[in-house]
Amino acid sequence: MPDHKSFWKNSRKAYRFLIVLCGVAFIAAILVFYIKGDKVDDNYEDVVEKDPNRIENGIHVRTGLIDAPGLTETVNNCTTCHSAKLVIQNRMSKARWQATIRWMQETQNLWDLGDQEDIIVNYLVTNYPPQKKGRRQSLSDVEWYTLK
């Protein structure tokens, strides 16, 4: 029968072995997770566009802006700081766009647009003119349900 001290020594070795084994298994699991995460499924459509300036049905795919003269200037100057959706939803007059540009230059560090300012403002006023909507647009395509 082994004495008590030798059993304790062997138990420490066993615990050390188990701790090291768990550490190795944990590191292996992390590596498998990251390696497996890099593989692309054959059915997965890559989010990164091969052509970031692709136009489909008259719409710039990456931004959702209408393809028209001034699109490139608008994309290059406006979507650097914010989403094109912000531009699309803010339908303004020429004077209001110019005032907004001045405000962005004074408070948001927008650079001097130079000759491109007129091109951008004309693009926005032509393709996203102000709309009279009232307070808000009516809800549509809503499935209503009865509260009990």
Out of 65-69, 94-98, 101-105, 127-131, which region has the weakest mean confidence (pLDDT)? 127-131
Neighbour count for residue 125 (Cβ, 10 Å): 19
**Is residue 109 over pLDDT 60?**
yes
pLDDT for the residue 28: 80
Residue 10 pLDDT greater than 70, yes or no? no
Q: What pairs with residue 60 in β-bridges?
A: 55
Q: How confident is the model at residue 36 (pLDDT cuts 50, 70, 90)?
A: low
- Judged against a pLDDT cut of 90, whether residue 22 lies above it is answered with no
Which position has the token pair 């008590």? Answer: 4
Under the banding of pLDDT at 50, 70 and 90, the label for residue 15 is confident
Q: Of 56, 122, 111, nearest to 65 (Cα)?
A: 56
Q: Say if residue 38's pLDDT is above 80.
A: no
Please tell me the distance from the alpha carbon of residue 45 to that of residue 83, in angstroms, as a whole number.
23
Percent of residues, the chain, with pLDDT higher than 90: 44
Q: What is the pTM of this model?
A: 0.57
Residue 134 φ/ψ region, left for φ over 0, alpha for ψ in the -120 to 50 degree band, beta for the rest:
left
Instruction: Choose among 39, 42, 58, 61: nearest CA to 50.
Output: 61
Cα 68 from Cα 64, distance rounded (Å): 12
**Best CA proximity match to 112, nearest among 102, 99, 120, 124:** 102
Name the CATH architecture for the domain at 55-127. Answer: Orthogonal Bundle (1.10)
Structure-block tokens of residue 130 = 């102000």
What one-letter code names the amino acid at 59? I
